[in-house]
Amino acid sequence: MSHTQNPLQPPLGVDCAPRHHVSRFVGFILVHWVFLLSLRAQLFDEPIKMSAEGAASDPSQVLLDVRVSHFEGIDFLDRTVIEILQLRPSEGGFRRASASRIAFAPGAVISDSSLSYTNEASGDTWAMALLWYVWTEHRPGPWVTARSVKDFFPGQTNILIGFARPHPQGTGTQYGWVRLERDTPNPSDIFWPDGREKRVAFWPAGSAIHPIPDRPIRAGEAPDLPQLTSEFLPATESLPPRIRVQWPTGWDTLRLEQATDLAPPVLWTRVPEVVGSSAEFVLHEDGQLFLRLVHVP
């Protein structure tokens, strides 16, 4: 008998009792065929982890964790697939749209007033259960079926999940969102009419995070950042031609920086002529100047 224990203990149980005498033999050709099918239809047969937000080398990420366990019988092979969204490191937490709804509607605000999410099974705020389903390879075959055990987003194929985490520079909280998509909310409906496989599991489809701490962000949208505006000031009797740059007030943690060339390595220096949220300075001799606003803790 071959039985790998389910790595989670979700609130809804599942009958894992053996149904037949178990055989350890699986033909190589059949295994290869099922492996190819699982890659195309997202009927996973091996665990994976992928970044839903942040670079793979970034220690602060939102990870999509797909866990797979196996149960084998003489004429079947079950694979239990559990999808979990995780914050790394675990100091942060997911947010929910309301007491009755986890996913945020497009354009909804994610901020310090958003409700905290808590995993009912573990009590964690940084690990969100998404989907739990089982797919079975029947023998002799090939013949594949699938069934849902627990879907935490029933009927939904496109969801926006909000989260909050400590700012990597050590001050305040960052708010962000990730978008997850799938072709079908029904794991038993795994093929299109033309025979192409549907995506059963949720998959990362976009993300954004506000780079400035303690600023809200709208689900599904880029962060609202101040825009630089500039105007040319002609020469006067006492002053040469200048450039005036302005941005909205209320962004006290931003600093204006300048560079004369964007070829790497770029040398950014602070613009010293800043007063409040504007600056006036003489343009560089060749007329080329690049400006940016950066957050300074």
| Edge-to-edge order in the sheet of strand 290-295 | 269-270, 254-259, 290-295
Q: What is the pTM of this model?
A: 0.75
The string of pLDDT tens digits covering residues 212-240 is 899 999 999 999 988 889 888 888 888 88
Average pLDDT over residues 139-154: 86
Q: Is the peptide bond before 193 cis (omega within 30 degrees of 0)?
A: no
- pLDDT at residue 286 in the model: 67
Quote the CA–CA distance of 39 and 34 in Å, as a whole number.
9
Q: What are 238's strand-pairing partners? A: none
| Edge-to-edge order in the sheet of strand 274-275 | 229-233, 242-246, 278-282, 274-275
The string of pLDDT tens digits covering residues 104-117 is 999 999 999 999 99
Q: Smallest Cα–Cα separation from 15: which of 140, 147, 152, 120?
A: 147
Residue 156 confidence (pLDDT) above 80: yes
* Contact indicator for 232, 243 with CB cutoff of 8 Å: yes
* Contact indicator for 132, 86 with CB cutoff of 8 Å: no
- pLDDT at residue 130 in the model: 96
What are the DSSP E strand ranges found in 74-106?
Answer: 76-88, 93-96
Residue 54 confidence (pLDDT) above 90: no
Quote the CA–CA distance of 260 and 263 in Å, as a whole number.
9
